[in-house]
Amino acid sequence: MYYLAKIKFEAVNDQSGKLQTIKEEYLVSAESVSEVAIKLNEKFGSGMSDFSVSAITESKIMEVVQ
């Protein structure tokens, strides 16, 4: 299964120097919503300060063909 996970975090804008909220979406392959949360924490937990998951929804994507 694939899930669409939306995260947000704060970062300093290079041009203005002000703090801004960044929102990003990721397609995550997992068996459950809890597994998605675990994978996101493994990927962003140590590198991205104060990120939060704003939504996790099941995707209609059945398979990624490469």
Helical residues (DSSP H) of the chain, grouped into ranges:
33-44
Tell me: pLDDT of 49 over 70.
no
Closest CA to 27 of 7, 9, 42: 7
Tell me 18's DSSP state. -
Tell me: pLDDT of 51 over 90.
no
Tell me: pLDDT of 47 over 80.
no
Tell me 46's DSSP state. T
| Single pTM value for the model | 0.79
Helix (H, G, I), strand (E, B) or coil at 11: strand
Question: Residue 6: which pLDDT band, with cuts at 50, 70 and 90?
Answer: very high
Closest CA to 7 of 21, 25, 29: 25
